[in-house]
Amino acid sequence: MEKAIEILKENNYKVTKQRTDLINYLKNFTIYYVSINDIVDYMRSLYPGMSNNTIYRNLKEFSDIGLVEYQEKDRTLVKYQCDFKHRHHHHFVCKNCGRVTELKACPIEFFTDQLPGYTVEGHAIEVYGLCADCTKKLKEQE
């Protein structure tokens, strides 16, 4: 929490009760993504009059300064930043339980080597499969 507050202040954002409560909720999601609908429901339980705009704007600002990470699939999911020291990183996502594991290596050179003359402006890599726990459970069921 201290690091998140420090990042807010460094980026000239006010440390409000609403932002603090939002960060406290998001801290529960460092190894799993949470849907924005769940975030909205939670924040509305604390602040019934809070608008969707306010919640979405805060999440966007949190993303811009590296407090949260987005995943775009069939719906938008958010998770609390798992590594403040290395904002650029990739993930393995378990298709069974949803656990997110940070990958330390970045293979961008493998791709850029295949694109001579191209300008790569960004990338995001997620690897999907079964985590070790889910793999073990599956093997035990066989």
Q: Annotated binding site for Zn(2+): which residue ranges?
A: 94, 97, 131, 134
Spatial distance between the Cα atoms of 75 and 35, rounded to a whole number of angstroms:
8
Contact 46, 21 (CB under 8 A): yes
Binding residues are 88, 94, 97, 109, 123, 131, 134
Read off the tokens for 1: 């929490």
Q: Distance of alpha carbon 24 from its chain centroid, rounded? A: 14
Q: Which helix (H) or strand (E) holds 44?
A: helix 36-46
Binding residues for Fe cation are 88, 109, 123
